[in-house]
């Protein structure tokens, strides 16, 4: 009797990409560079995905852009809300957590401020 193959979830796959990004960031020490590379890789792979799923990519291009953009926006919103509820701490903050009553948030140059 063979054991049924367990399907890998999107969250398990995402964790593998994040682990690789963390590994690269440990070497590069540049979270902005790694984040930009991940966004570029995602857009490149999503364009490939759209090309395989589309009968006429030229005609469906704008719909594909809108669909992928909406998907990303929803995922980003969920993850930003999670970070608002559960702020990340730097290693220095973690070590100083005991005894400190109020901590200054870690500076994060990776998040750019965009204005219209």
Burial of 34 (0-12, 13-18, 19+ CB in 10 A): buried
- CA distances to 20, 42, 107 from 82, in Å: 21, 21, 18
In this predicted model, what pLDDT tens digit does every residue of 34-85 receive, in sequence order? 999 999 999 999 999 999 999 999 999 999 999 999 999 999 999 999 999 9
Confirm whether 53 is domain-assigned.
Answer: yes
Task: Tell me if 42 is assigned to some domain.
Answer: yes
Q: Is 43 within a domain? A: yes
Q: Number of structural domains, the chain?
A: 1
57-85 and 31-53 are packed helices; what angle lies between their axes, rounded to 10 degrees? Answer: 140
pLDDT tens digits, one per residue of 15-47: 999 999 999 999 999 999 999 999 999 999 999
Tell whether 1 is covered by a domain: no
Cβ neighbour number for residue 62 with a 10 Å cutoff: 9
Residue 33 lies in a domain: yes
Distance CA 23, CA 93 (A): 21
Contact assessment for residue 34 and residue 21, using Cβ atoms and an 8 Å cutoff: yes
pTM over 0.85: no
- Angle, alpha carbons 57-58-63 (nearest 5°): 70
- 20 is in which domain, residue-wise? 10-83
Whether 107 maps to a domain, the answer reads no
Residue 4 lies in a domain: no
Closest CA to 38 of 74, 70, 77, 28: 28
């Amino acid at each position: 009797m063979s054991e049924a193959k367990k399907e890998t979830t999107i969250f398990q796959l995402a964790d593998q990409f994040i682990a690789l990004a963390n590994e690269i960031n440990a070497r590069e020490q540049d979270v902005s560079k790694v984040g930009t590379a991940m966004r570029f890789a995602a857009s490149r792979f999503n364009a490939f995905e759209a090309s395989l799923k589309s009968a006429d990519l030229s005609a469906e291009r704008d719909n594909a852009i809108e669909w992928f953009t909406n998907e990303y926006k929803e995922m980003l919103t969920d993850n930003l809300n999670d970070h608002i509820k559960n702020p990340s701490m730097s290693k220095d903050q973690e070590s100083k957590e005991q005894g400190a009553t109020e901590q200054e948030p870690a500076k994060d140059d990776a998040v750019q401020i965009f204005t219209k």
